[in-house]
Amino acid sequence: MAIRIEEAFNDCFERLTFGESLDSCLRSYPEHAAELDIMLRTVYDVKRRAYPIQPRPEFKYWARVRLQGVQDYMSRHVAPEKVSPFNFRRNLAISVAALVVLVIASSGTAAASNDALPDQPLYGVKMVVEQAQLSLATSDIDKAQIYAQLADKRAHEIEALARQGKADYLVSTSAKMDYQLEQAENYISKFQAANTVSPAATMEATTVETSTDETTDQPTRTAPATDKPEVPPAGTSTTDTSDRPVWTTPAPATTLVKPPYTDNKSRNEKPTVKQPLPATRATANVIKAKTALNTSTAKSLATLQDALDKAPESAKPAIIKAIERVKKANEWSQQNFNSDQDNKPEIIIPRPKYIPPTTNRLNSPTTNTVKPTVILPNTQKLVPSTSVISGTSEQ
């Protein structure tokens, strides 16, 4: 059976690559020799032309250096493996961790290890229990709270070590605390990013409360009496017992409109439609975690200040460093905590609210004593009190 020319060509090409001569190869395929000769010479010419194509040696060198830089970076920043909640290994790990916690806790060793210091044999048990706690945490918020608690434990260890004059372990314990605070912050930030919970996002979720005047960075004022506000469909209005009149519509909150602000910019804005419920939950979770971090760091600060008073001179630099770190975390949590509190739960309820400008928004002392008036839905009007609007609309 005659060999196909493609096969013969490939065979000859391989043999030439290994050093055989062209004539020798052609003799093996006399029926294709003429054509093979031309084709193999073409291959030779292609290879000859391509031969000078080589990377510049200096580029190859620097590319290798850059690759090694990437290797260094990746070895330091190992991405967390994404796992399915149904992942068998993860579930197994959680089960094992739970079992470890149960066994250790039931044996009383865990309780005994709770006060263990790094120089004591039970400290290892304490670490295992903490790792098990972390393994059992299923959400970023849970992890953040656990890390905040663990950081506070480290602060207490630092205090105990300082009190007992065991300066050798201060640096490593302080480093652990630093890591745990960092993890707490990271998990909160990660959750915020994943759920787009930020002060700005939370403000959006509140939907209608204020409109900011870009030029003054102050809330804009209410409408003149003649400017009729849009209102929700009839039969949907209520007032609450607080100073703030509130009208609500039945869920879903899709008919909410902006209140009648005096400036044209605000008046021309389209009604805002929001679905605040997910933001509410996410914000509540963030606040919960930040509160935990804030509380824990406040306690830690007091503990470490106490430790600083008792510590020998040699231990003080490590404690001062730890205090600085805790202060930083405390400020971080406080800063974010405050901004979230400003926008938070009571105004991020699932139903939209109309909240006319209040004292804080208007900076007007007159509004402290005057309760704004709400015309209920049967009149289809919402008229803010004249004293409320006097700050701007009458100007």
Partner 1 sequence: MLIEEQLVQRAVNGDRDAFTQIYDLHFNKIYRYIYVKVHSQAEAEDLAQDVFIKAYEGIKNYKWRDLPFTAWLFRIAHNRVIDHIRKVSKEKKASLDEAGGISSGDPVHMTELNMEIYQLKDALQHLPDAQREVATMRFISELSISEVSLALGKSEGTVKALQFNAIASLRKLLYGKINGY
- Residues in contact with partner 1 by CB under 8 A are 5-7, 9-10, 13, 38-39, 42-43, 45-47, 49-50, 52-56, 59-60, 63-64, 66-68, 70-71, 74-75
Question: Minimum distance from CB of 36 to partner 1 (Å)?
Answer: 10
CB of 33 to partner 1, least distance (A): 15
Give dist(CA 236, CA 242) in Å, integer.
Answer: 18
Residue number, 9 or 354, with CB nearest to partner 1 = 9
Give the number of other Cβ atoms within 10 Å of residue 349's Cβ. Answer: 16
Q: Which of 259, 271, 270 is nearest to 222 (CA)?
A: 259
Instruction: Dig out the tokens for 2 from the structure.
Output: 């005659």
Cis peptide before 345 (omega within 30 of 0): no
Q: Cβ closer to partner 1: 31 or 324?
A: 31
Question: Which of 358, 372, 380, 386 lies closest to 228, judged by CA?
Answer: 380
Task: Please report where in the chains the tokens 């912050």 appear, as a residue.
Answer: 185
DSSP, collapsed to helix, strand or coil, labels residue 222 as strand
Nearer to partner 1, 73 or 86 (CB): 73
Q: How far is the CB of 55 from partner 1 (least distance, A)?
A: 4
What's the closest the beta carbon of residue 16 comes to partner 1, in angstroms? 12
Least Cβ distance, residue 205 to partner 1 (angstroms): 38
State which residue, 30 or 52, has the beta carbon closest to partner 1. Answer: 52
**Rounded distance between C-alpha atoms, residue 281 and residue 290, angstroms:** 14
Least distance CB 51 / partner 1 (angstroms): 9
Closest CA to 42 of 16, 81, 76: 16
Q: Nearer to partner 1 by C-beta: 14 or 214?
A: 14
**Residue 154 CA: distances (Å) to CA of 116, 127, 141:** 11, 11, 20
CB 248 within 8 A of CB 351: yes
Looking at beta carbons only, is 23 or 81 nearer to partner 1? 81
H/E segment holding residue 213 = strand 212-213
Query: What single-letter DSSP state applies at residue 125?
Result: H
Whose Cβ is closer to partner 1: residue 27's or residue 60's? 60
**What is the rounded distance in angstroms from the CA atom of residue 20 to the CA atom of residue 68?**
41
Min dist. Cβ of residue 62 to partner 1 (A): 9
Strand, helix or coil for residue 212: strand
Please say whether the beta carbons of 101 and 129 come within 8 A: yes
Asked if 243 contacts 340 with a C-beta cutoff of 8 angstroms, the reply is no
Contact 145, 312 (CB under 8 A): no
Q: Which is nearer to partner 1, 38 or 395 (CB)?
A: 38
Token readout for 198 is 């930020």
Task: Please say which residue, 63 or 103, places its beta carbon nearer to partner 1.
Answer: 63
**At closest approach, how far in Å is the CB of 18 from partner 1?**
12
Peptide bond just before 252 cis, omega within 30 deg = yes
In the complex with partner 1, the residue whose CB is nearer, 13 or 123, is: 13
CB of 135 to partner 1, least distance (A): 23
CB of 20 to partner 1, least distance (A): 17
